[in-house]
A and B are shown apart, each in its own frame.
Chain A
């Protein structure tokens, strides 16, 4: 069996002979098209349940806005406030200053941006090699890439911390950027896309024109791979922006990323509940904006990256 999906899954499938055949193929378009798949129309009950799910998903965010726009005494009253108050900008301003949110957001932008750019570039490079170039040990190496997903990076924090101190990167941004410059999920994601979307004829035509592999990558692969690269960029950006454990250990309050700065809000430096909520809102706003604009693409990307089985 060729490695079409993660090995764990391929294996599980082999062992479950009663399950229907895997469609295995990677469908970029299809994942984006809503309503693909079954034909049953949703009844009222389905809409009610989905409405509840959407409400539960969105309500805490709405309530963050409400709490961030009132004041400390109003938040602490029962019944709790359900409508926004007049203090949103004031509280955002206080949070911006007291929790060093300005610096934190700039840091997070640098960290998440650098990680996302590098992940996308290296994932496309490796994904292209795994999808279209032939070399010895290709399948085994791809298995190895997927296997690295099972090793949580958090387990190495102790030596990582010591390494960073030795390199002189303690409490600096490179210490949180470098460990996450590549991602196995990204490599696998790009490989799946390129395997399907990049015609072999194009590469052969390039070779006949005397182009070497790097040139083929640059002028044939990159233009074709733009849509999944954009999706991978956004997903990686979200992950890097929200990453918590290692940045919390590696950075301190003088030079934090957003999640690290937010812990300061909870740790008693700020007593005003509505200011705390304003800080949480600030830290989430950039990603929410991204979701409002590109939500559809991100949903599509996560579904494409999913293993169909």
Chain B
């Protein structure tokens, strides 16, 4: 019965679910008892089965996502060593106070923040520009889309290995290219800002195309008449981009900012491999690019202090929560402003494309 292709239309409300008596065929033969049993089974089917269908997701997330997150907090209140993980010694908030006094924590926090900014801001801006270009009527648009997405198919490890070589001090291609501009032998790994820039370059390379496709999808959903109306009003291409495209995809922009922020807080593989070996875990000889993720790993799996590692994980979680609260406040603030501005000049609101369709 399901072999025919369905007509792609879903209109109106479906008829109410039939009860057992409406059943066709042999349903009536079984008599009253059979019918009521069937009825109960059917009700059970309609009532309970949806929950059974979504249960696997929640069970697995609960077991391997939510439970570990909460248990992380419990561990962070203890001293636990990697070699004797079943022995937990209560420490209260001592791990947290030690962490706050620990310079390495503040260093890792600052590095995570600066690398996060250097990698996210240019990435999303370039993705926006790229999406705008891809949104033109293009020859070979499929090629360009697949091409810019290809870095996304490269694993962190492989990408980091390749970029580590490109950023090599003595024979790397990037220094070779820079030498034509009079810049000689930048020591990308050993200097703080060059190292952070190089690590950011890996992140930018891998994710710009992916974000551009998300923006492109949102841009294509903007009704064309909005652009036509703006063009009639004499809006230039740039004004159209600012006033139609960007507001039109604002939800997706927020979405990518959220995803990139989460990604930036968790940064681990790129600096680890960029540091080549033992230097990677400490984030360079002077911890110049050690991120919170690396510090977590160093405490837990190099210094064997699982309790401290859990404390760092929980600190990362708190930072994320803080970022989202801030983001909400900022969005709320920005949304109120134009609302007031639009209320004042009435005739301007008439000429700009209306928000209500």
Contact surface of A with B, Cβ cutoff 8 Å:
5-6, 8-10, 12-13, 15-23, 27, 30-31, 34-42, 46-47, 49-50, 53-54, 56-58, 60-61, 63-64, 67, 75-80, 122-123, 125-126, 128-130, 133-135, 138, 141, 144-145, 148, 150-163, 165, 178-182, 184, 187, 195-210, 212-214, 217, 219-220, 223-224, 238, 241-242, 244-245, 248-249, 258-260, 262-263, 265-268, 273, 276-277, 279-281, 283-284, 287-288, 290-291, 295-296, 298-299, 302-304, 306-309
- Beta-carbon contact of A267 and B276 below 8 Å: yes
**Chain A nearest CB, measured from B228 CB (Å):** 9
Assembled-state Cα–Cα distance A19/B146 (Å): 30
| Complex A-B, nearest 3 residue pairs according to Cβ-Cβ distance, in ascending order | A156-B68, A309-B251, A15-B335
- Residues facing A in B143-179 (CB within 8 A) are 143-166, 170-173, 176
Task: Verify if B255 is at the interface (C-beta below 8 Å from A).
Answer: yes
Question: Are B60 and A162 closer than 8 Å at their CB atoms?
Answer: no
| Contact assessment for A259 and B157 in the assembled complex, using a CB-CB cutoff below 8 Å | yes
CB distance from A242 to the nearest CB of B (A): 4
B273 neighbours in A (Cβ, 8 Å)? 262-263, 266
**Which of B97-105, B129-137, B282-290 binds A?**
B129-137
In the complex with contacts A244-B269, A277-B165, A40-B136 CB distance below 8 A: yes
CA distance A141 to B336 in the complex (A): 30
B72–A155 contact, CB under 8 A?
Answer: yes
Q: In the assembled complex, which residues on chain B have CB atoms less than 8 Å from the CB atom of A156? A: 64-65, 67-69, 71-72, 313
Q: In the assembled complex, how far is the CB of residue A173 from the closest CB belonging to chain B, in whole angstroms?
A: 15
Q: Does B183 lie at the interface of the complex (its beta carbon under 8 Å from any beta carbon of A)? A: no
**Cβ-based interface call for B32 (8 A):** no
The reply to whether the CB of B108 lies closer than 8 angstroms to some CB of chain A is: no
CB-defined contacts of B31 to chain A, threshold 8 Å = none
Pair A41/B137 contact, Cβ less than 8 Å: yes
List residues of chain B with CB within 8 A of the CB of A298. 146, 149
Whether the Cβ atoms of B68 and A159 lie closer than 8 Å is: yes
Please, could you name 14 A-B residue pairs with CB atoms under 8 Å apart, sorted by A?
Answer: A16-B338, A21-B357, A39-B137, A49-B129, A53-B148, A58-B147, A61-B154, A78-B176, A160-B64, A198-B6, A248-B272, A267-B276, A277-B161, A303-B216
Interface residue B182 (Cβ < 8 Å from any Cβ of A): no
**Cβ–Cβ contact A304 & B85, under 8 A:** no
Are the CB atoms of A49 and B133 closer together than 8 Å? Answer: yes
Cβ–Cβ < 8 Å partners of A60 in chain B: 151, 154, 159, 162-163, 166, 205
Give every chain B residue within 8 A of A181 (Cβ-Cβ). Answer: 56, 60, 64
Q: Are A18 and B14 in contact (CB under 8 A)?
A: no
* Chain A residue contacts of B67, Cβ below 8 A: 156, 159
**Contacts between chains A and B (CB distance < 8 A), count:** 446
Q: CA A150 – CA B273 in complex, angstroms?
A: 26
Q: Which single residue of chain B is at the shortest CB-CB distance from A28?
A: B8
B65 touches A153 (CB 8 A): yes
Contact status B254-A12, CB under 8 Å: yes
A181 to B58, CA, bound (A): 11
Question: Which chain A residue shows the least CB distance to B331?
Answer: A12
Q: How many residues of B contact A (CB 8 A)?
A: 146
Q: Which residues of A contact B29 (CB under 8 A)?
A: none
Q: How far is the CA of A159 from the CA of B265 in the complex (A)?
A: 19
Verify if B355 is at the interface (C-beta below 8 Å from A): yes
B161 x A266 contact (CB < 8 A)? yes
- The digit string for B114-145, where 1 denotes a CB below 8 A from any CB of A, is 00000000000000011001111111011111
Smallest CB-CB separation from B245: which chain A residue?
Answer: A38
- A187 and B222 contacting across the interface, CB-CB below 8 Å: no
Q: Assess whether B223 is in contact with A20, with CB atoms less than 8 Å apart.
A: yes
Q: Contact mask B206-240 → A, CB, 8 Å, 1/0?
A: 00011001101111111110110000000000000
Contact with A along B286-304 (1 / 0, CB 8 A): 0000000100110011000
- Picked from B2, B300, B320, the residue with its CB within 8 Å of the CB of A202 is B2
List chain B residues, Cβ under 8 A from A248. Answer: 268-269, 272
B258 at interface by CB-CB < 8 Å: yes
In angstroms, Cα B51 to Cα A141, docked, is 10
Which chain B residue lies CB-closest to A299?
Answer: B145
Known: A8-B255, A210-B27, A309-B252. A262 touches B49 (CB 8 A): no
